[in-house]
């Protein structure tokens, strides 16, 4: 699957421990271990009312009567089921369009620059540098309209091909083996005409947070417009679908979007590749901004390396994608129309 990399919370209690004291219950301390590329984007903290989020607030939860809690859960479940049942999905209206795929390539020029040049350009455009290494860079920028942070993640590897890197993300069964944060991953529906899938993904979150689930449409294509080097474009955004109801045990992340460019250094099936992921989500989790910064700087390098190792260990039987099987990207003269 695309990297959906999301920087999320890990259930492991051994890596990068962060001791946090909950504002609502200062006697309880929790160690959080965070490693992934699917970031939890924090909204403005002052705008968050913790009693209105879907997370279990420890003190508030135990201060309510049992009957009130049960009735609230029941009402929420009924309303959620009715809303989901009434939701219609259309590939034409809700899928990833040709234009979205083209817009996802708008930053591909950055992949042909040095790390220093990339840093100078993004900082001039208002992006904040969180991490810079030889093979990995991370930037973020607050979006006032969406009220979440957007992230740009750059990476490069010389010992795997762009095609294998793409395959690792596309293969959901293999993802369940190497990503211990994924509880469930499944394809709900496929559209062969547009080479698109609807993916349902449940992600582990540590106590006291509920797990998160994502329902999104994913589409990819091969961009050979510049002849050399070729690129694979992956675009995803959150959707609703009548066949997937909300789970009262999870928090549905319904504000999520990502664009990924995977570019080969020579040929798609030869070693040497780089990628750029642009991503945002609202995981509805209240954490201090300083904690998110720590997650980014500590969790990303580990998760990227985990993905790298998974790509190197991809079973030969799994390498069934061929360049000829990838659909060609379709372009417009003017994406602003």
**Domains identified in the chain, total number:** 1
Contact in structure between 241 and 123 (CB atoms under 8 Å): no
Task: Tell whether 55 is covered by a domain.
Answer: no
Task: Tell whether 233 is covered by a domain.
Answer: yes
Domain containing 229 equals 98-325
Task: Tell whether 41 is covered by a domain.
Answer: no
Nearest Cα neighbor of 107 from 88, 127, 92 is 127
Structure tokens at 181: 């944060």
DSSP per-residue codes, 242-299? TT-PPPTTEEEE-SEEEEEEEEESS-TTSEEEEEEEEEEE-------HHHHHHHHHHH
pLDDT under 70: residue ranges of the chain: 1-87, 227, 285-293, 295-297, 317-319, 332-337
What's the confidence (pLDDT) of residue 272?
Answer: 95
Nearest Cα neighbor of 260 from 123, 133, 108, 144 is 108
Q: How many CB atoms lie within 10 A of CB 51?
A: 10
Return phi, psi of residue 155, to 5°.
Answer: -150, 160
What's the confidence (pLDDT) of residue 317?
Answer: 67
Quick one: how far is CA 310 from the chain centroid? 18
Pairing of strands 211-223, 250-253: parallel
End-to-end CA distance of the chain: 30
Structure tokens at 184: 């469930």
Instruction: Say how far apart CA 97 and CA 92 lie, in whole Å.
Output: 8
Task: Tell whether 34 is covered by a domain.
Answer: no
Task: Tell whether 43 is covered by a domain.
Answer: no
What's the confidence (pLDDT) of residue 191?
Answer: 92
Tens of pLDDT, residue by residue over 275-289, are 999 988 887 766 666
Quick one: how far is CA 322 from the chain centroid? 25
What's the confidence (pLDDT) of residue 325?
Answer: 87
What CATH number should be reported for the domain holding residue 272?
Answer: 3.30.530.20
127: left (phi over 0), alpha (psi -120 to 50) or beta: beta
Task: Tell whether 162 is covered by a domain.
Answer: yes
Instruction: Say how far apart CA 53 and CA 37 lie, in whole Å.
Output: 23
Q: How many CB atoms lie within 10 A of CB 320?
A: 9
User: C-alpha angle with apex 62: 60 to 67, nearest 5 degrees?
Assistant: 105
Contact in structure between 33 and 206 (CB atoms under 8 Å): yes
Task: Tell whether 292 is covered by a domain.
Answer: yes
User: C-alpha angle with apex 137: 110 to 131, nearest 5 degrees?
Assistant: 140
What's the confidence (pLDDT) of residue 107?
Answer: 94
- Here the contacts of 192-200 (C-beta below 8 Å, separation 24 or greater) are 193/91, 194/91, 194/95, 194/96, 194/219, 195/219, 195/220, 195/221, 195/327, 196/91, 196/95, 196/96, 198/89, 198/239, 198/241, 199/1, 199/172, 199/236, 200/244
Task: Tell whether 92 is covered by a domain.
Answer: no
């Amino acid at each position: 699957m695309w990297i959906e990399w999301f920087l999320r919370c890990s259930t492991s209690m051994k890596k990068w421990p962060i001791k946090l004291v909950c504002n609502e219950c200062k006697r309880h301390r929790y160690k959080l271990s965070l490693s992934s590329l699917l970031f939890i984007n924090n909204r403005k903290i002052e705008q968050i009312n913790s009693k209105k989020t879907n997370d279990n607030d420890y003190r508030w939860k135990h201060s309510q009567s049992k009957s009130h809690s049960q009735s609230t859960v029941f009402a929420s479940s009924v309303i959620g089921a009715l809303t989901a049942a009434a939701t219609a999905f259309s590939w034409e209206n809700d899928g990833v369009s040709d234009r979205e795929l083209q817009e996802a390539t708008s930053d591909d020029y950055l992949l042909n620059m040095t790390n220093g040049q990339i840093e100078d350009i993004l900082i001039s455009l208002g992006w904040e540098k969180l991490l810079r290494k030889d093979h990995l860079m991370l930037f973020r920028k607050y979006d006032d309209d969406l009220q979440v942070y957007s992230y740009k993640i750059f990476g490069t590897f010389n010992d795997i091909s762009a095609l294998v890197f793409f395959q690792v993300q596309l293969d959901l069964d293999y993802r369940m083996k190497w990503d211990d944060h994924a509880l469930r991953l499944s394809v709900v529906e496929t559209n062969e005409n547009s080479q698109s899938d609807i993916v349902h993904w449940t992600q582990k979150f540590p106590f006291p947070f509920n797990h998160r689930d994502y329902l999104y449409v994913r589409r990819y294509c091969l961009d050979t417009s510049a002849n050399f080097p070729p690129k694979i474009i992956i675009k995803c955004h959150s959707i609703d679908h009548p066949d997937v109801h909300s789970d009262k045990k999870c928090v549905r992340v319904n504000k999520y979007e990502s664009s990924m460019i995977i570019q080969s250094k020579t040929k798609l099936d030869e070693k040497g590749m780089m990628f750029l992921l642009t991503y945002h989500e609202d995981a509805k989790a209240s954490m201090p901004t300083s904690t998110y910064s720590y997650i980014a700087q500590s969790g990303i390098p580990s998760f990227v390396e985990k993905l790298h190792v998974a790509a190197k260990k991809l079973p030969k039987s799994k390498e069934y994608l061929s360049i000829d099987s990838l659909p060609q990207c379709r372009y417009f003269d003017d994406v602003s129309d």
